[in-house]
Chain A
Amino acid sequence: MERETKAFLSGNEAVARAVRLARPHVIAAYPITPQTTVIERLAEMVEEESLKSEYLHVESEHSALSACIGASAVGARTFTATSSQGLLYMAECLHYASGGRFPIVMMNANRSVALPWNIYGDQRDSLSLLDCGWIQAYAEDAQESLDLVLQAYAIAEHSEVLTPMMINLDGFVITHTYELVNVPGQNEIDLFLPPFRTTNKMDFDCPMSLAFTAGPAYNQAFKQLQHLAMLKASRVIGEVEERFGRLVGRNYPGLIETLYCGDAEYIIVTLGSVAGTIRPVIEKLRSGGERVGLVRIRYMRPFPDAEIRRALAGAKAVGVLEKDISFGFEGTVFTNVSSALMRSQVVPPRLLNFVGGLGGKDISAADIELIFKRLKNSEPGETVEFI
Chain B
Amino acid sequence: MVEIRWHGRGGQGAFTAARLLGVAVTLFEDRYALAFPSFGPERRGSPVLGFTRIDNCKIADRSIITDCDVVIILDDTLLDDSVLNGLRRGGLLLVNTAHGELPIRPPDYVRTVLVDATSLAMQYLGRPITNTALLGALAASSDIVRIHSLIAAIRAEMKGTSAEKNVALLEAAYNVYGGNIA
Contacts and interface: CB of A to CB of B under 8 A. Distances in A.
Contacts of B35: 8, 177-179
A365 B62 CA distance: 10
Interface string B48-68: 000000000001111110000
B144 to A, nearest CB: 16
A140 B23 CA distance: 21
Nearest to A177: B36
B13 interface: no
Contact of B34 (A179, A275, A365): A179
Task: Decide if the interface of chain B is mainly helix, strand, loop or mixed.
Answer: mixed
A277 interface: yes
A173 B19 CA distance: 15
Interface in A253-277: 273-277
Kindly state the interface size class of chain A when it binds its partner.
20 to 34
Given A273-B62, A280-B61, A180 B33 contact: yes
A176 B39 contact: yes
A362 B66 CA distance: 11
Contacts of A274: 62
Given A176-B36, A178-B35, A180-B32, A276 B61 contact: yes
B27 A8 contact: yes
B45 interface: no
Contacts of B27: 6-8, 180
Nearest to A367: B63
A362 B33 contact: no
Nearest to B35: A178
B60 to A, nearest CB: 4
A349 B86 CA distance: 41
Interface in A348-377: 360, 362-365
Contacts of A179: 22, 26, 32-35, 59
A120 interface: yes
A332 to B, nearest CB: 22
B22 A178 contact: yes
A5 to B, nearest CB: 10
A119 interface: yes
A172 interface: yes
Given A119-B40, A177-B35, A178-B35, A362 B26 contact: no
B179 interface: no
Contact of B61 (A176, A178, A365): A365
Interface string A146-180: 00000000000000000000000000111011111
A286 interface: no
Contacts of B22: 8, 178-179
A174 B27 CA distance: 20
B62 A178 contact: no
A120 B39 contact: yes
B11 interface: no
A52 interface: no
A7 B34 CA distance: 12
Interface residues of B, number: 20
A246 interface: no
Given A119-B40, A119-B41, A176-B39, A363 B63 contact: yes
B62 A277 contact: yes
A223 interface: no
A108 B22 CA distance: 26
A279 interface: yes
Nearest to B18: A178
Contacts of A176: 36-37, 39
Nearest to B156: A8
Contact of A8 (B33, B39, B61, B64): B33
Given A8-B22, A178-B22, A179-B33, A276 B39 contact: no
Contacts of B40: 119-120, 172
Contacts of B32: 179-180
Interface string B12-48: 0000000100110011000011111101110000000
Contact of A177 (B23, B41, B62): B62
A172, A180, A274, most chain B CB atoms within 10 A: A180
Interface of B: 19, 22-23, 26-27, 32-37, 39-41, 59-64
25 contacts: A8-B26, A8-B27, A120-B39, A120-B40, A172-B36, A173-B39, A173-B62, A176-B36, A176-B39, A178-B34, A179-B22, A179-B26, A179-B33, A179-B35, A179-B59, A180-B32, A273-B62, A279-B60, A279-B61, A280-B60, A280-B61, A363-B63, A364-B63, A364-B64, A365-B63
Interface of A: 6-8, 33-34, 119-120, 172-174, 176-180, 273-277, 279-280, 360, 362-365
Given A33-B41, A180-B27, 18 more contacts: A8-B33, A8-B35, A119-B40, A119-B41, A172-B39, A172-B40, A174-B62, A176-B39, A177-B34, A178-B22, A178-B34, A179-B34, A179-B35, A180-B26, A274-B62, A277-B61, A363-B63, A365-B63
Give the 4 A-B CB pairs with smallest separation, nearest first: A276-B60, A172-B39, A178-B35, A177-B36
